[in-house]
Amino acid sequence: MNTLLLSFLLTLVSTLTTLDEQKALSEWTPAAVVSDESIMAYGIDSCFKAYPINDAIFARMDGKSFKKNCTMPRSSLRYLRVLHRNVEGKTQLGEIVCNQSIAADLLDIFRKLYEANYKIERIILIDNYNADDETSMRANNTSCFNFRVVSGTTKLSKHSQGLAIDINPLYNPYIHLNNGKVEPATGKPYAYNRANLRNVKVPIIDAHDLCYRLFIQHGFRWGGAWRTVKDYQHFEK
């Protein structure tokens, strides 16, 4: 093959990739991986934005995270577009539903985490897991709004109001200190002796962690500081 033809084909492949990526960005395809060049062309400010819950998003949530008995008005919730670095360090599209009162906090925190190359494996709506927390946590999915009770109680969780978020939950599990139960169950290897964990794909959340520091600066409380349970993935306001 002559060099001119090869160079033409390479340009064509690169143009097609860019077109695919621009489509993923304009449609905001959850978990799509895009190049930094595509982000530059699209505009980074458009990648950290809050929107009202439109009908298409609501259709995904209805009967799942937004259960029939949901007492949260849809109008108090926001759909956020965010970017994050995945476990390979690549730029991935994320989506979060949260309470409107913390939308600006989350946009600022996720932008700072992205700029610091902080790894988060996946941020897609928990409705993709039928709003089942255990399944979403096993997939190490970061999520916020879900109309549900606190695990093991009848009390409504702060997730029900979209005021709590769980970050990289598989590697930052939730431990019931009274009975030793770990959620997700597959997070057991990351539940104890956390300062000595090695070869973990994402940062371990502790008091030195950037994610921890950003949430605390924004006035959130950390579940890892609680005494009867340790909820390392959890921040709430």
Question: Partners of 5 in the beta sheet?
Answer: none
**Which residue stretch of 10-18, 31-39, 97-105, 165-173 sits at the interface with Zn ion (rule: CB under 5 A)?**
165-173
**Per CB under 5 A, 133 contacts Zn ion:** no
**Per CB under 5 A, 166 contacts Zn ion:** yes
Q: 144 phi and psi, to 5 degrees?
A: -130, -85
Q: How far is the CB of 166 from Zn ion (least distance, A)?
A: 4
**Which residue stretch of 27-35, 74-82, 162-170, 180-188 sits at the interface with Zn ion (rule: CB under 5 A)?**
162-170
**Per CB under 5 A, 183 contacts Zn ion:** no
**Which residue stretch of 89-97, 116-124, 137-145, 228-236 sits at the interface with Zn ion (rule: CB under 5 A)?**
228-236
Phi-psi category of residue 50: left, alpha or beta, with phi > 0 → left and psi -120 to 50 → alpha: beta
143 and 129 Cβ atoms separated by less than 8 Å: no
Structure tokens at 182: 């770990």
| Residue among 168, 169, 172, 188 at smallest CA distance from 180 | 188
**Per CB under 5 A, 230 contacts Zn ion:** no
Identify the residue among 78, 84, 234, 237 touching Zn ion (CB under 5 A). Answer: 234
Q: How many helices (H) and strands (E) does the chain have?
A: 6, 10
Query: Which residues contribute to the site for Zn ion (CB under 5 A)?
Result: 164, 166, 234
